[in-house]
Amino acid sequence: MTQNKTLIEAIRIVVVVLIALAIGFVITALVSKEPVAAYTALLTGPLPKISFENGFAITNINRFGNWMEESTTLILLGLAVAIVFKARQFSLGAEGQMLLGALATAVIALKLALPFPWHMILALAAAMAIGFLWGLLPGLLKAYLAVDEIVSTLMFNVIALQLFDLLLFNWLRDPTAGFVGTVPFPDSAVLPLAISGTRVSWMIFIMLAAVVIVWFLMERTPFGFELKMLGANRKFAEYGGINTKRVIALSMAVSGILAGLAGAHLSMGLLKRLTINLSPGLGFEGIVVALLARNDPRWVLVAGLFYGYLRTGAQIMERSSDVTREVVLIIQAIIILLITAEQLFPRFQQWWGARRNNEAAMERG
Amino acid sequence: MSFEVVLQSIFSAAFIATVIRVSTPLILPAMGGLISELGGAINIALEGVMLAAAFTGVIVSGFAPQWFPGAPEWVYALTGGVAGVLVGMAMGWMIAFFHLELKTDIILTGLAMNILAAGGTVFLMFSLTGDKGSTSTLDSAQLPAVQIPFVNTIPILGTLLNGENGAGYNIMSYIAFVLVAVIWVFLYRMPSGVHLRATGEMPEAAQSVGIDIRRTRYWALVASGFCAALGGLYLSMGYLSIFQANMTAGRGFIALAVVYLGNRNPIGTLIAALIFGTASALGTRLGTMAIPPQFVEMIPPVVTIAALVIYNIRRRARINAAARRFQEQAEAARP
């Protein structure tokens, strides 16, 4: 029975994604002179090209690298969202936690001088710690004072952005640079490369470890059990003797750790410095990943790779055609709308059934 | 840079004029947020609606001269404004449709609308103008400023009522304040306003007396889109005269918080919006005096969180007091 349900759910998600991609194509066709070429770039762009003409060679490895870079950030953000959604907490704080995570790495990287592994480890730890704290605060407010987490996390995002700008403009900024940003991080605080010729760094291993750890946390620990109970029914969880307040606060704090790591990936892995307007709105991109994955960490990996693929493809499409990469945001919005529409398929069936009945009645009549 | 200079610049008529200018795009969407919030359907998409309306207003008013050549300038501005408002209302309706008919989570639907607006505006802007950053190549119309006659000759009052150069505030600033009054009357003096509040407060009770909850929430979300659209139009056709990618810069989210800071009533919401506007205006002003503006801009979100904390502590105290009273009465009644 459950097996069957999971299968139906999986089919539903695939159908939703296909519908969204189809609508995306229609929109592309409306504005583009060469919609097929544009969409081909979107859907096949991130793949490395393998050629056998001059012996075996792989080209376009940097595109594959872009895909992996994008996906690493998205999977970390997707895990962050999956944890709070599993507990049915609508924390929207990933954006602020990510910004502060990146900020913390810059402070450690630029204001401390340490030898290689320790400098990097300390910077990562700082990002995780500030993410934890920035999730814990709204978590405690929600758990003990019933402060609505949507409003509080949005406000914590605003504060985080102001803190980010404050420190960047007044303390960390490189005054000789032509843009608002810091000097490049010292090598001791940069994540080493995992694939040469790309920007894919050790963060990809940290991300994979995070997937395993979050899965273990959710499926094999008392905390994970409490998290699921809380998400299923708070009153019931309380009757069952679960300290729901502690679980609410911790779920948002643990989520913050992962968002903080995503921020560290931007600064220590991709940019190797801190710049203004780091990546507005990226913190919300974890939501679509978590939704596609139904908050299951294993599927977050798959959904993150899929959505990262789409985002990378969109960048390649933008460079090679007359369509901007923002089409992927439209596709994303349609995916969220359709995937959360529980009544969509029942309604469709109803409508389809009614039509068939009508036709049958007409044939008979 | 003395403290006096700071104080002087704060308590000037020109400063108050600035506050009104920067508060307008918070008051309007906050009124939208208030209506849907009171109807029990939180609208997270204020940000997206503002962005979409701001974009539509500029694009339609910019292309209107091709459709109606030779018409007076105000026709173009009006066409753009009406189109922007319609887009905002359509987005409100879409949220209602997905939430009420297809049973989506209203928060996720709102977020999807924000993403749709952020992506859709840039996507269409590039297709229509060939630019991804702003519509500066397009000659779009402006919403008019309204000047109150005769007061300019009076020194302080002139600046206060007609803005820094005496040219008057944008019409949207007036609409914002009028809207607050209209919504107050609607909520507290009209049956439909009472129905709306009942729907939000206790849907089952409202339904039991024959209020159509579904229809009320549809209208609440459409009205919410209407108000937020006005705020967006002000940004691109009043505050600035172009559309820029992501020009709302989180104002829609702040407007949502403003509703809570304002204790979910129109007057409180207006005051809360003015607090945020004052901090923003102050930040800009202090920025020219070598004081980091971020310090000041951090105050309103901190105040909002503090206000929520105090509100919930007081509510809890009230509930506890009521419970204690009940217990005492019960004990007193025991023989």
On whether the CB atoms of residues B24 and B239 are closer than 8 A, the answer is: yes
DSSP alpha helices (H): ranges in A87-221?
A: 94-111, 116-145, 149-167, 203-220
Residues in chain A with CB shorter than 8 Å from the CB of B256 are 150-151, 154
pLDDT, residue A75, reads: 97
- Fold of the domain built from segment(s) B10-291: ABC transporter involved in vitamin B12 uptake, BtuC (1.10.3470)
Per the CB < 8 A criterion, the answer to whether A263 and A102 are in contact is: yes
| Helix (H) or strand (E) run with residue A58 in it | strand A57-59
pLDDT at A45: 84
State the Cα–Cα distance between residues B98 and B112, nearest whole angstrom: 11
Contact (Cβ atoms closer than 8 angstroms) between residue B197 and residue B279: no
Residues A213-242 have a mean pLDDT of 92
What residues are paired with A181 via a beta bridge? A275
Residues A204-228 as b or e (16 or more Cβ within 10 Å = b): bebbeebbeebbeebeeeeebbbbb
Determine whether the interchain pair A150/B44 forms a contact, defined as Cβ–Cβ distance below 8 Å: yes
Query: Domain containing A87: what range?
Result: 33-322
Residue A18 falls inside a structural domain: no
Structural domain boundaries in chain B? 10-291
Task: Please choose, from the candidates B2, B102, B99, the residue with its C-alpha nearest in 3D space to the C-alpha of residue B43.
Answer: B99
Both structure tokens of A315: 């960048």
Considering A47-56, A81-90, A342-351, the range whose residues carry the highest mean pLDDT is A81-90
Q: Give residue B282's pLDDT.
A: 84
CB contact under 8 A, A287 and B120: no
Residue A49 parent element (H or E): strand A49-51
Which residue from A16, A84, A115 is spatially nearest to A231, judged by alpha carbons? A84
What mean pLDDT comes out for the span A54-62? 74
Residue ranges of chain B with per-residue pLDDT less than 70: 1-11, 155, 164-166, 287-289, 335
- Contact of A303 with A289, CB cutoff 8 Å: yes
Nearest-CA residue of chain B relative to A162? B294
Q: How confident is the model at residue A81 (pLDDT cuts 50, 70, 90)?
A: very high
Question: Are A147 and B119 within 8 A, CB to CB?
Answer: no
The two tokens of residue B269 are: 């919401």
Strand partners, B244: B134
Give phi and psi for A242, each to the nearest 5. -85, 135
What pLDDT sits at residue A7? Answer: 85
What pLDDT, on a 0 to 100 scale, did the predictor assign at position B303? 85
Is residue A309 pLDDT above 70, yes or no?
yes
Contact B112 A90 (CB under 8 A): no
- What gap in Å lies between CA A64 and CA A122, rounded to an integer? 29
The tens digit of pLDDT for each residue in A270-281 reads 999 999 888 888
Q: What is the pLDDT of residue A313?
A: 92
Instruction: Identify any residues that bridge with B170 across adjacent strands, giving them in sequence order.
Output: B145
User: Which of chain A's residues have a Cβ under 8 Å away from the Cβ of B132?
Assistant: 324
What is the per-residue pLDDT across A340-357, written as a single tens digit (0 to 9) for each? 887 777 776 677 677 777
Domain count within chain A? 1
pTM over 0.80: yes
Q: Which chain B residue's Cα is nearest to A165? A: B294
pLDDT score of A1 more than 60: no
Write down the mean pLDDT value for chain B: 89
Place A2 in a pLDDT band, splitting at 50, 70 and 90: low
Residue A118 lies in a domain: yes
Share of chain A above pLDDT 90, in %: 64
Q: What is the DSSP string of B98-133?
A: IIIIS---HHHHHHHHHHHHHHHHHHHHHHHHS-SS
Closest CA to B99 of A344, A87, A267: A344
Residue-wise DSSP of B286-328: HHTTTS-HHHHHHHHHHHHHHHHHHHHHHHHHHHHHHHHHHHH
Residue A365 placed within a domain? no
CA distance B79 to B81: 5
